[in-house]
Chains A and B, each alone.
Chain A
Amino acid sequence: MTADWRGHVPQIEDLARRFGLEWSPVIFEAVPDSFMTEIAVYGLPVRMPHWSFGARYIYQLLQRHMGYSRLFEVVFPGDPGHAYLAASNGVADNVLVTAHVLGHADFSKNNLQFRRCQDQGNAQIIEHAAAHARQIERDIEAHGFNAVEQVLDAALSLEQYVDLDQPLRRERFPEYEPPAAERRDDAFRSRFDTLDAAAAASSPARNPRAPLPPHPERDLLWFIATYAPEMESWERDIFLAVREESFYFYPVFATQIMNEGWASYWHARLLREADFIPEDIYLDAIKCHSDVVRPVATGEQVSLAINPYHLGFTLWEEIIKQSGVEAARRIMREDDDFSFLRNHLTREIATEMGLFRYQRRQNGPIKVVAAEIDELHESLLLDKYNFGAPRVSVTEVRTDGTLVLQHDAQLDGRGLDAERSLKVLEYIKRVWRRPVLLNTIDAAAKSVEFSSEAAAA
C-alpha cells in the first residue's frame, strides 16, 4: 500500500519544480497515529517531558475520539526537512499530503521569519530538541524528578517570553555604562584641559555600573537564565533549551494563516495539474481537499471561528489570480500573518467569504457587530501579538535580588488574572530564589503589585 503514494512523490516533485517551488530535500515517513498525536501535542517529534503535555495529550485523544480533529501530516523545516504522515492516511490522502508538504517546505525555506530563525542555527531543531530531551533525562537522574519538574514548570510557563529581535546566542549586557562619547577637540575643550591637570587626570575614572536591565527586557527566559542569582548551571541550560525551542515555534505561530494557505493552495494547484494521477485517487484527494479548507463544519451554517486553511487558501488564490505567481512568491517571502492580512484581506474578499465580527457579553447574547475592515484585521490578529501572551518584561533587579516584572496593561488593554499570575510568580521564584514582583492593574484599572511572597503566605 505504502508504495502506491511513494511512487507518485517524484512526479509531484517534478511538477512542483516546474511551478517554481524550491525546497530543501524532504524525508517522508509514515508513522503510527499514536506518534502523530504525540507530535501534535509536543510540537516536535522528541521533546522534553512535562506533565502539562500529558494534559494536552488526553485532550488530543478526546478530540480524536470524538472525531473532531484528524492529523494528516506534520512538516519540520530543515535541510533535510522531515515530513511525518499518518500511517492511516489513504493513498489519495497521501498524494494530497505530499503536495501539501512541498508547499510548506517551499514556504519554510523562503519565508523571512523562518529564514531568520534558521540563520540562527536553528535549522536542526528536531535534533536539538531531542538533545534537550536527552539532557533533561540525565538531569532527572542526577538531580531528581521533582527538582527538574520545578524548573520546567517555570521555564515552560514563560515559553512565549522570548525576544525574536535578539540573536539566539545572546551576550550579557555590558556591566558598566559605556564611556562618555569622545568630546570634540574644540577651543573650549583644549583650554579647559589646561586649567587643572589633577582634575583632568582623575576624570577617566571608572564608568558607573549600568542598571540591570538597562531597558525593560522582554526575553524573560534569557534574562532569568543569565542573571538569576543562584541558579544551577543545569537549570540555566533548561531555560535556554526551552528558549531555543520557542525560537523555532515562533515563525510557525506567526505565519500560520499564510503557511497553511500556501500549502493548501499548492496541493490544490498541483493536484489539478497532475495528469499522472488516476481519476479515482484524484477524486478522493479533491474531496479531502475540500474537507480541509471548508469554512464551516459540516451541517453548520455559521462558525464562530475561522478556519486558517480556508482563509489563507482564499487569499492566496485571489493574490495569484490578480498578480500572478511571482508576486505571490514575493509576498510569501516577506510577509507574516500581520502584514499578510492587513495588506491582502480586503473588504471585498471579507464580504465574499462572509467574515463577520461578533461580540459576546458575559451571560449575554453573541451578537454580530458591524466592523470596518481594519477592525476585522485587528480582531483576527488580536491573539497573535507578542506570541499570544500578555506583555510582561523585567524592569529591575533590586540590590537584594528581588526581580521586578512589569505588565504593559496599557497596550494589552487590561490587567492580569491575579490567581494565575501569583502561581507563575511562584514558579519563577523557585528558580530565581529571591522574591519576584509583578506590577499590573486590576479590574478597576488601579495599579496592583503581585508578589511571590504573598503567594507563599
Chain B
Amino acid sequence: MAESQTLNGWYELFSRGARDWLRHNEKIREAVRSQLPQIVSGADVINDGARTVRVPVRMLEHYRFRLLSTGDAQGVGQGNVKPGDVLGQSNPSGGSGQKGAGGKDHGGIELMLEFKVDDIVDWLWDELKLPNLKPRAGATEEAEWKREGWDRRGARSRLDRRRSLRESVKRRALDASSPAFTDEDLRYRQLAKRRQPALRAAVFFLLDVSGSMSDRDRQLAKTFFFWVAAGLKREYKALDIAFVAHTTEAWEFSEPDFFKVTGTGGTVASVGLAKVHEIMEQRFDPSVCNVYLFYASDGDNASDDRTAAGSSLDEIAQVARYAGYVEISTGVRSSLSEISSLFQSAIDDGLPCSRFSIAGPDDVVPAVRHFFSAEAQADAGEEEIGGAP
C-alpha cells in the first residue's frame, strides 16, 4: 500500500503536458499581442466601462502537409439507413473532414482569453511616452530609486504579489485545473536609479463633434482618446487632462461625459482651439506646465474660419510642447483637408506639431505609436529627459 502511494507520487511528478501547454499558451500570447490593433479597436471599453477585453483565440496549429480541402467529404458511418437518406446538414464552418494521423485536428476549438485593459495598456504603452516632456522651470531634479518594470527573477522582498496573482489568474483563465501558482507567474519589482524631474503636464483632448462626423468617426476618435488617456494616466502621476468638444461652439466636459458626447451642426475649429487656449490661460500656465494638445476631427472646417483657426493654432503651438492632429478620414482626399493643411503649415513653420490619419479601427494603435513613440520625439528634435538610457 505504502509502496503504491510512493509510486503514485512519483507519477504525479510528471507534468510534461502542463509544461508544453504553458509553452503553447506563451506562443498564443505572443500571437495575440501581435494583433494588438484588432484587440484595441474591437473592444467596446468606452461605453460599458469594462475593465477586461475578451479575445477569441484559436488553438495554435502545428502545420503539416495537408490535401486541399474541397469542402466535400465522404466517410463511413453506422446505423439503420438506406441510400438517399439525408442525415443532416454539413457544418458551414467545418470543411475539414480530413484528420491527420491520430486525429490531431483541433482547429475548431476556440478559447476565450480575457485580457485586462491594464495589460493592453502595458503592451500598447511599452516604451511610449509624452514627447518633449521638460522639467518645470526652476524645479530641482532629484536622484531617486524608482520602480521600473517587472522581471521574472528577483529578490524575494520585491515580489509583487498583486502582479504575480494577476499572471496566475491570466494563466488559469485558460484552464481552471492548473496549479494556482507556478514559477512562471512570479513577478518581481525592479528598481532603477532615475533622475526624477519635477514634472507637471496638462493634456488637452479636443474633439470635433459636428454633424459631419459620423457615429463611426466619433467612435474611432474616442477609441484613440481612450487608449491615450489610459496610457497617460498610468505613466504620469501628476497629469491633468482637459476634455473639450466643439461644433460651432465649444464646451469642456468631464471625462465620462466626453466619451458620451454627440453633437450636430457645423464646424468652426477656431472656437474649439480658442476654448483650449482659454482653459490653458486660466489653469495651466505654459511657463510652468508642459502643455499638450491632441485634436481629432474629420478635417472639414468652415472655409471662412481658416485664418482664425490658423492663428489660434499658432497661439497654442508656440507655447505647447506638442500638438497632434488625428484626422478621421473616411475616404481618399485629392488634397489636404482644411485642418490638415492648417497643421501642415504649422509643421512647416517648425512648430512641434504632427498629424496622422485614421481610416479604420486598425489604425488606432499606429496612431498612438505615431504620437508617443521615441521616433516622434526624435522628429521633434528636442532633448529627452528622464528617459531610459
Contacts and interface: CB of A to CB of B under 8 A. Distances in A.
A194 interface: no
Given A379-B75, A416-B66, A389 B17 contact: no
B90 interface: yes
B106 A59 contact: yes
A370 interface: yes
B17 A57 contact: yes
A397 interface: no
A380 B89 contact: no
B103 to A, nearest CB: 9
Given A354-B78, A365-B88, A420 B20 contact: no
A157 B17 contact: no
B75 A304 contact: yes
Interface stretch (A273-281, A295-303, A329-337): A295-303
Contacts of A2: 4
Interface in B308-329: none
A157 B253 CA distance: 58
B90 A353 contact: no
A369 interface: yes
A55 B24 contact: yes
Interface in A46-70: 46-47, 49-62
Contacts of B104: 52, 56
A21 interface: no
B20 A303 contact: no
Contacts, number: 248
B143 interface: no
A87 B65 contact: no
A366 B86 contact: yes
A156 B62 CA distance: 9
B17 A360 contact: no
A357 B74 contact: yes
A418 B63 CA distance: 11
Interface string A361-388: 1111111111000001001101100011
A369 to B, nearest CB: 6
Contacts of B12: 32, 34-35
Given A31-B11, A52-B62, A421-B65, A388 B101 contact: yes
Nearest to A407: B65
A376 B106 contact: no
A172 B382 CA distance: 65
Nearest to A62: B109
Contacts of B81: 302, 354, 356, 368
A424 B75 contact: no
Contact of B79 (A42, A303, A443): A303
B21 A58 contact: yes
Contact of A368 (B67, B87, B101): B87
B97 A416 contact: no
Contacts of A418: 68
Contact of B101 (A58, A295, A389, A413): A389
A367 B63 contact: no
B331 interface: no
Contact of A358 (B14, B59, B74, B80): B74
A413 to B, nearest CB: 8
Interface in B54-112: 59-90, 92, 95, 97-102, 104, 106, 109
Among B7, B65, B95, B104, which residue has the most Cβ atoms of chain A within 10 A? B65
A302 B89 CA distance: 14
In terms of DSSP, what is the predominant structure of the interface of chain A?
mixed
A366 B63 contact: no
A73 interface: no
Contacts of A442: 68
Nearest to B80: A354
Nearest to B87: A366
A306 B82 CA distance: 17
A420 B78 contact: no
A41 interface: yes
A377 to B, nearest CB: 9
Contacts of B22: 54
Q: Pick from A53, A60, A443 the residue with the most CB of B within 10 Å.
A: A53
B142 interface: no
B378 interface: no
A42 B19 CA distance: 13
Given A34-B17, A304-B87, A364-B90, A443 B68 contact: yes
A237 interface: no
Contact of A366 (B27, B89, B109): B89
B81 to A, nearest CB: 5
Given A58-B175, A301-B79, A420-B61, 11 more contacts: A38-B14, A55-B62, A58-B24, A253-B101, A306-B77, A358-B74, A360-B72, A360-B75, A362-B72, A388-B102, A420-B64
5 contacts: A305-B75, A361-B71, A365-B86, A368-B84, A389-B64
The 6 closest A-B pairs by CB, nearest first: A362-B71, A302-B79, A54-B20, A54-B24, A54-B21, A52-B62
